[in-house]
Structures are given as structure tokens and as C-alpha cells.
Amino acid sequence: MFEEMRIKRLLKKTITKEMYEKLPNSIKRDARIVEKFLSDDPNNINHLYSDIIAEQVKKDYSLCRLLNEENLNAVFRHLDISKMDIDTELFSKLNGRNSQIVLEQDPKTYFQLVDEERLSADLSEVIAHTLRKERGVEVYTGKAIEPQLLREIVLSLGPEKIGIIANKGSFDSKRYVTELIRSLPTEEQLELYEQNNELFDCLNVELQEDIQIKGCNDEIDKILELPEALQIKYFTSNPERLKYAPYEITEQILATGQFPLTAEELIDISYTQGYCIWAYSIDKTLEPEEMLRLFNGGGNNVKRLLSRYYDSRDERVLQIRKLVDLQLSSVEDVEKRQAFLDIFNSCMKERSSVTYYTEETRRCCSLLFDERVIKTVEPELLLKYVKTGEQSVLIEILSNAYGEHVRDIFNERPMLTLNEIPTFRVFDKNIIDRLGVEFVHYAVSYNYEYFGYQINDIAENVDEMDNFKNFWEYSMSRNAKFDSSTLYSIFKNFSAHKDLLSQLDLSNMSEHQMQMLDLYLRECETVGPLVHNIDDLDNYLTIRTERFTAVMEAAEYSSDKQNVIFSYLTGRIVNPGIETIDSMGLQNVINVFNVRNIIKNPELIEEMGLNSDEVALLLLLNQVNQMVEKSELPVLNDVFLAVSNSQGLDPTKFRSTFDKIQDYYTERFKDGLTDSEQLDQMPRTMIDGIPVISFEGEPFNLLCSVTGIGMSLRESVGFRQDLRYSGKDLLNNWLNLEDGVLSISCALCSSSVSVNPSGIDEINQRLIFVFDDDVDIIGMGGTDISSDHEKRDTHHRFQFIGYNGMKFATMDEIKQDTVENIREMERTKHDKFYNEVSIYRKEEDIRTVKGSQKRRMPIGLYVVGEITEEVLETARVFSDYYRENNLGEFRIIQVNPEKYRAMTTRSFVPSQSEVVESNVPWYQEAQEQINKGRK
């Protein structure tokens, strides 16, 4: 009773915490008191007994938010958590046991609220268990969740938390998240990635690649830094940019054969990528019709087609038959067509032991692939040329097809052979009327692989012809010195920049614009497509500085940074993939041109004709070249900043610097060669009417072709020692420019330290050269300079691995290198120890060459030891030919090996121990001569 009275009194008052605390338990538990206590202040709930708290919360779940941590955790397990609307604040009060209850009963909420550390650990566990359960593995710990729920949980977490699991979770969870994301539509994957870039690795691989490629913004230098597979993907989907791809990438793409190109695209790529792309991609990338377009004018280019197709070992031989059928389908006269086919078939019966095709096949196809020829030639005349190869018959056929002016051209070039005519279309009257006969002479003198197609192209298209004419005239006016690479550059640039060149008024540009165009065309391979119109040309120095700045910032290694500075200052391209004399990086330029030696030697500077500005440039380049330490990377950055901010340092100022150096080395080398006058002063005897000049200990320096009796050069097969050309065969091979190659590989044979030019003991008869005129020397070194003797090569590639590499050295340096090299090779038994000097086969500038020869001919045969009957017969054949063609005297230069013990064979070369002991008199003598020469 008293208790009831007390309750009624209390219900009329405000029940404070203190009052409630003092109440007996029975009153505390009274429902009315509890209700009043809470209505006075809801926060009083924390002063109730746990079971009462649970009861109250179950009546009104919003009360759980008022509970303190202790009470919440005490009652939590009695509550229905689905009604609690658990948020971060509430969740943060839960202890481990109760948060596990949330995990079990409402995992989605749990993973939304749990902190990063727990999220990664718990979800990893859940994922692992779920995966195990799915795969029938018994679960001992943790909680497995239905896969669909798990998927929902993970996706509901959002990009940031998914990223945490992907990056910090277990192996299983990473894999699960990756699989999950990759199963999403591309747009959703992208959305996740855009919100959290850390999810990159979880994206579909293809999407990853697309993102990486897209991130490059089509900037070539960034594309070239991508992994190889991505570069392949990029260039495959952007074929118009394939010419910027590294050679290896292009090769791989084209090798698939699933990348059809037009003839024009293949040409364009080949100019940048080189001979191999051209040679090996024709049959893989071109449809038959495109192929016919490419070889439309017949001529020597057809040889390339033959070497790819005419291989009787496989079915490719059938392909050339198909092409011939296709080509002859335009001949309406059935009998004539059949007659052509019969001639073709008769040629295909045999296969040459030297090349994949016979000379007859080559002559036949060269003519059959020319549309004009097959319309005008009678089968009998074709057969006559195919069988005999007589130049007069060829002239008749071509005169019928192209006009009588062909005879005039052949009259001017009596030594002209099929090998030198890239396409018969060069005789097109349109070409001669617009570009002049001079153009024909250039084209047949520098018969690069790709000219044929381009000549066909401009001959057929008047607009194209006009554009080419403008560029041709522009280029000729800009090149004071025409060298072997000029024509190549003209065709290459015309091919690569047709759009730009067609919109420029080339005959009306300012000197600055022309300088900028020259510079851009020269360095386009390095800077990429930067110029699109005349305004770009006006601002080119600014545009290129921006470009180089971006490349400099991206460069990581000192060699890359050095090359950026080097290219920026000189306008030279740097192509580490295909290093030629014109595309070496700074380090090789310093070595090959002996720059360190030049800058220390004022006399040399004067002799080279370098001005003090150029010396300052070389000093700077030499200094930059020495910055190779990691700690010097910031210095290189500072150098570039200073250089790019300077007003006077632009590449137009240094255009001829390296030409001067190259010319100087060439001149000095030539000065040391034995000339005709010296030879004429030597005693001579006559054998069978052939002058024989004998060297019996006298000093001499002769340049000998590596080709000679017993070893010859054939295109596609390289040097063949087994051919043993001699006599008429050797003459014919030589007159055909050894299948049209542009350069001659020579060795310096010297009385002091000479070795046999081929390095092979048994072979010692070589064609020799004595030069009284200008000789364009490509490179010279104490060892093989790794020259490629191809038709298209204007600049020789070189390598440093294992050899001294290409080097512009003095004659004495070459001798010294040779001696050292022989000593080295004596130990290693390497057979490539001859020194090498590469020269061009034709005189350089047709504008200044008088007469009809326009090609270098040997002055005689260099013979070490006895004059055999084979030597004599060969000399006779050459001598007769020289007499008939007014080419002067053909001599035999005989060297007595006993008087020059060092020069004949390897066995005469002292061993290392002999050299160390210095007991080889002739060797000491040779060394003294070298040292004397050096002084």
C-alpha cells in the first residue's frame, strides 16, 4: 500500500536521476514509473535495468540512439537490428561481439560502416569463405554469404572501399573484386575507375589498355613509352600513324598479314622504317591489285617482287603466276597474251643457284609488269630481250613504249643497265616535260627501292606531278651540294608531307620560312607532326621548343636528356633503333667524329673550317656528354632550360658543322691514298698487253673492293665466297652494280700494316680503286663497320658491339686500329678483321659530272703473290671492256708478300706473345711508320 502511495506521489513530480537511483527495485521496475522517468527525460533510459531498457527500445527503436555504449552493448543481442537503422554513430559504440552480430545479420550495413582496417580483413574473410563454400570446401571459421548477396555488398561499398579491398585485402578478395568488376559493363567499370584510379588493375585488361592509350592523347613520344603490346594495339587501330612506330612494332603488326595496306601506305611507312618493312611486307600486306599498282612501271623494282615470290620450295611461286595472269588480263589479243604467258612459263622452269630467280625471269617480269610495254611490244622482241639481255633490244622496246627520247637518254648513259632503272615509267614523256631529263638521270643513278611506285604515281596524276615538281624545284634550290641522300630525302619528304607541301606556296616563302621548313623536314622524325600550315612554320621555333620541353620533362635517363639537348641544338634526329651516321645519339657522335680530339686541337679546327661558334657548340656538346651521373640529371635539366631560353642557339646555325668534320676526315684519308701519278711512276712490265705494276717493298695505300675474284656481292644473299666469279662473270656482276647496290665495301691495303682485304687467306685478288676525283666516303674504321650494302641505303648503319664500329679516322688511325685488331683476332680467331672504308658507287652530284660514266670503276686488280691464269683472264676481260668504252687503262697491281710480310695473310701477323717480346722486326718497323705518321 505504501508503495502504491509512493508511486502515485512520484508520478506527480519530476523524477530525477538521483531520485530514481534511491528507489527500491520494485518501484524502479514499475511500468508507470519507468514511463514517467523516460517522459521526464528520454536520456534517463541509461539508468534503467538492462531488461527494461531492452523492453523500452523494442517499443521505440529510436531510443537506442540515446543509449550509452555500455547499455547498448548490454542489450544489443536482444534487439532486432533490422529495426534499428544502424548508422555510423551507433555502430561506433558497438563492441566486437555486437558488431559481429551486425555482420551476421546485416552484412551489407556492417561493411558499409566498419572502418577501413576491419573492412579489408572481414570482407576478405567473407569472400574467402564464400568462395570456398561455393566450391564445396568445408567452412570452419568465418561466415559464408550467398554469392548474390556478397556481390551486392561489395558493389554497394562504393569505389573508395572497393579500392581498399582490392589493394589491402587477401589474395582471394583481390581476385574476387577483380573478377566482379570485370563482369560489369564497360561503362560501369569506367565509372568506378574515374571515381577511384586505384581500381585500375581490377578493370578489364582491354579497358586498362584503352585507358593507358587514351591517356597518351595521341602524343607519339608517350605512345612509344607504352608496353610493346599496347603500342601494337595503338598503331593497329591508327594505321595512318604506323610510320612513327618503332621498326620492331611495325614488323610485328605487318607480319600478322591481317593488316592490309595500300601501296601508298606501305611506301610511306617504308621511308621511315626502312628497307626491311618494304622488303618483307609486300606479300603480306598488299592485295594483288595493289601490288600491281606498286610495280606498274616494271623495271628493276620487280626484282623485289621476284625475290619474295619466286621460291620453288613453297607455293609462293604460284602467287607470281597469279599476278602475271592478272597483269596480262588487260591484253585483249588472246594470241599475244598466250605468247607472253609462254615466255613467262619458259623462264620459270629453272631456278638460279645464286638467287631465287634467273636473269631471264627477271628480264621477263621487269617488262611484263609495265602496262605500256605489254601494249606495244611484240612477243618476239620480248623473247629476244629475255634470252639475250642485249641493251639495244631493251632500248627498242622502251622507245616503242615511251618514245624516241629514250634512245637519247641511253646514248648519254651507255652503261645504263636494267638494274639501275627503278621503273620504266621514269621515261614517261610527262615526267621529262615537267621535271626535265636531269630528273631521269638522278632517278637512274640513285635507284632506291621505293622510287618506282612514287614515280608511277606522279606520272599518272597531274596534280601530284605539279606538287612534286614544286617540291623538287624547291629542294634542288635549297641543296647547294647534292649528295646521295638528297634524292632519297626529296621522295621521302614528299611522301610523308604531301598535305603540308601542297598547301605551301614553295616558290614564295621568306628565307625564315624556308629555313624552318628545311629544319622541320629534317627533324620531323624526332619532333613528330608539328607543322600543318604556314603559320606553324612562322612559329616553328616556339612550337619545337614546347615539344622538346615536354620530351625533356618525360625523359628519365641521362642519355635521353643528353639526346634531347643534342637534337634541340643541332636539329639532328636521334634514332637508337636504327643508328646511322645521321641518326646517332650524342655519345656516338662524340666518339665517331672524335669530338674530344677536335676541341683540343686548334690546328685541326682551322683545317676543318669550323668557326668559333661551332667550336663553342662542340665544347657544350662535349660537356653535356660527360653528364652521366644520376646526380647530374638536374644539371641536364638546367642546361636544357638555359639552352631553350637562349635567343641565338638554334639548329639553323649549326647545320653544316658535322658535314665539315666528315668532309675533313674524308679529304685527309684520300690525301694518304696512292694516286694514279704515283702508280705511273712505278716500274711496269707488260703481260699479254696488260700493264703490271709490281710493289717490291715500296710504300703504298690502296683502296680495294672486297669484291674480287672468288668473292662477290649479290643482293639478298650478301657476300658469296662460293660463287668464285672471275673473268666475264666478275665484269658482268660489277657492271650490273652487283644487282644495283649503291655502295662499295672497301678495305685499306697498305704497305705498312695491311692485311688481306677479306681476311681470308686463300683469297687475295681484289678490284682496286685509285681516286683522283671527289669520293664520297661513307665511313671508315679499323674493323668492319657493319655496313649494309643495299640499294636503298644512303647512310650506313653501324654498331659498336664487338667492333670499333664506324669511325671517321685518319689513315694512320685505321692502320693502328687494324694492327690492334689483328692482334686481338689472332687470339679469338675471328675472321672479320679487315678494316673497312665504304664508298658510294656513283659520283655524287650529277649536275657537275661530265661525260657518261657516272659510276666508279676499279683501276685494276690487286694481287698478292703470283699472277695466276685466272687473274690474267679476268684482267684481259676488264682491259678489253675498258678499251672499248674509253675507260682508261686497266692494270694489275702485284704485291710481293715476302717484301711485306705483314700484309698477306694472318699467319704473317705476330702473335700476342711475339708482340710483347717485340722481337718481330717488320712489326716494329710498321709501328715506327705509324708513329711517324701520327707525329
Partner 1 sequence: MSDIKEEVLGVFNVIEESMKLNCPDDIEKLNEINETKHYIENLIANENDKVE
Q: Yes or no: say if 641 and 561 are a contact pair by the CB < 8 Å rule.
A: no
Residue 647 or 907: the one with the smaller Cβ distance to partner 1 is 647
Residue 854 zone, left/alpha/beta (φ > 0; ψ -120 to 50; rest): left
Q: Which stretch binds partner 1 (CB under 8 A): 60-68, 295-303, 409-417, 637-645?
A: 637-645
Helices vs strands, H then E, count in the chain: 52, 11
Quick check: 598 binds partner 1 (CB under 8 A)? Answer: no
Residue 612 or 828: the one with the smaller Cβ distance to partner 1 is 612
Residue 514 or 615: the one with the smaller Cβ distance to partner 1 is 615
Quick check: 556 binds partner 1 (CB under 8 A)? Answer: no
The footprint of partner 1 on residues 292-321 (CB under 8 A) is none
Spatial separation of the C-alpha atoms in residues 933 and 781, rounded to whole Å: 17
Quick check: 256 binds partner 1 (CB under 8 A)? Answer: no
Quick check: 604 binds partner 1 (CB under 8 A)? Answer: no
| Minimum distance, C-beta of residue 478 to partner 1, in the bound complex (Å) | 23
DSSP 217: T
| Range 201-204 contact pairs with CB under 8 angstroms and sequence separation of 24 or more | 201/166, 202/162, 202/166, 202/177, 202/178
Q: Which of 258, 646, 685, 924 binds partner 1 (CB under 8 A)?
A: 646
Quick check: 338 binds partner 1 (CB under 8 A)? Answer: no
Q: Which stretch binds partner 1 (CB under 8 A): 14-22, 446-454, 635-643, 899-907?
A: 635-643
Quick check: 623 binds partner 1 (CB under 8 A)? Answer: yes
Half-sphere exposure of 756 (CA within 13 A, CB side): 24
Q: Which of 353, 647, 907, 913 binds partner 1 (CB under 8 A)?
A: 647
| Minimum distance, C-beta of residue 633 to partner 1, in the bound complex (Å) | 8
Q: Which of 7, 317, 476, 635 binds partner 1 (CB under 8 A)?
A: 635
Pairing, β 684-687 against β 836-840: unpaired
Quick check: 251 binds partner 1 (CB under 8 A)? Answer: no
Q: Which amino acid is at 391?
A: Q
Q: Cβ contacts of residue 649 below 8 Å, gap of 6+? A: 569, 643
Quick check: 641 binds partner 1 (CB under 8 A)? Answer: yes
Quick check: 628 binds partner 1 (CB under 8 A)? Answer: no
Q: Yes or no: say if 289 and 323 are a contact pair by the CB < 8 Å rule.
A: no
Quick check: 652 binds partner 1 (CB under 8 A)? Answer: no
**Mind giving me the DSSP string for 854-913?**
-S----EEEEES---HHHHHHHHHHHHHHHHTT----EEEEE-GGGSGGGS-GGGSPPHH
DSSP 285: H
| Minimum distance, C-beta of residue 250 to partner 1, in the bound complex (Å) | 38
Residue 149 or 641: the one with the smaller Cβ distance to partner 1 is 641
Quick check: 619 binds partner 1 (CB under 8 A)? Answer: yes
Residue 326 or 642: the one with the smaller Cβ distance to partner 1 is 642
Q: Which of 96, 136, 634, 851 binds partner 1 (CB under 8 A)?
A: 634
Residue 532 or 600: the one with the smaller Cβ distance to partner 1 is 600
| Minimum distance, C-beta of residue 613 to partner 1, in the bound complex (Å) | 4
Quick check: 606 binds partner 1 (CB under 8 A)? Answer: no
Q: Which stretch binds partner 1 (CB under 8 A): 174-182, 289-297, 638-646, 893-901?
A: 638-646
Q: Which stretch binds partner 1 (CB under 8 A): 218-226, 431-439, 642-650, 800-808?
A: 642-650
Residue 343 or 590: the one with the smaller Cβ distance to partner 1 is 590
Q: Yes or no: say if 841 and 856 are a contact pair by the CB < 8 Å rule.
A: yes
Quick check: 616 binds partner 1 (CB under 8 A)? Answer: yes
| Minimum distance, C-beta of residue 644 to partner 1, in the bound complex (Å) | 10
Query: Closest Cα partner for 345 from 359, 356, 361, 333?
Result: 361
Q: Which stretch binds partner 1 (CB under 8 A): 316-324, 626-634, 702-710, 721-729?
A: 626-634
Q: Which stretch binds partner 1 (CB under 8 A): 64-72, 434-442, 509-517, 632-640?
A: 632-640
Q: Cβ contacts of residue 485 below 8 Å, gap of 6+? A: 582, 794, 795
Residue 605 or 731: the one with the smaller Cβ distance to partner 1 is 605
Beta strands across the sheet bearing 860-864 = 684-687, 690-695, 891-895, 860-864, 765-769, 701-708, 743-750, 836-840, 777-781
Question: CA–CA distance from 166 to each of 148, 154, 236 (Å)?
Answer: 19, 11, 32
| Minimum distance, C-beta of residue 124 to partner 1, in the bound complex (Å) | 46
Query: Closest Cα partner for 621 from 582, 579, 583, 589?
Result: 589
Q: Which of 328, 649, 760, 887 binds partner 1 (CB under 8 A)?
A: 649
| Minimum distance, C-beta of residue 653 to partner 1, in the bound complex (Å) | 6
Q: Which of 241, 653, 720, 906 binds partner 1 (CB under 8 A)?
A: 653
Residue 166 or 565: the one with the smaller Cβ distance to partner 1 is 565
Query: Closest Cα partner for 107 from 117, 118, 99?
Result: 99
Q: Yes or no: say if 420 and 444 are a contact pair by the CB < 8 Å rule.
A: yes
Q: Which stretch binds partner 1 (CB under 8 A): 313-321, 506-514, 616-624, 790-798?
A: 616-624
Q: Note the residue count of the chain.
A: 935
Q: Which stretch binds partner 1 (CB under 8 A): 19-27, 279-287, 619-627, 853-861?
A: 619-627
Q: Yes or no: say if 815 and 930 are a contact pair by the CB < 8 Å rule.
A: yes
The b/e string for 426-450 (b: 16+ C-beta within 10 A; e otherwise) is: bbbeebbebbeeebbbbbbbbbbbb
Residue 651 or 691: the one with the smaller Cβ distance to partner 1 is 651
The footprint of partner 1 on residues 193-212 (CB under 8 A) is none
Quick check: 639 binds partner 1 (CB under 8 A)? Answer: yes
Q: Cβ contacts of residue 373 below 8 Å, gap of 6+? A: 298, 367, 382, 397, 398, 401, 424
Give ∠ CA 58-59-65 in degrees, rounded to 5: 65
Quick check: 643 binds partner 1 (CB under 8 A)? Answer: yes
Query: Closest Cα partner for 552 from 640, 626, 646?
Result: 640
Q: Which of 473, 632, 698, 925 binds partner 1 (CB under 8 A)?
A: 632
The footprint of partner 1 (CB under 8 A) covers 612-613, 615-617, 619-620, 623, 626, 629, 631-632, 634-635, 638-639, 641-643, 646-649, 653
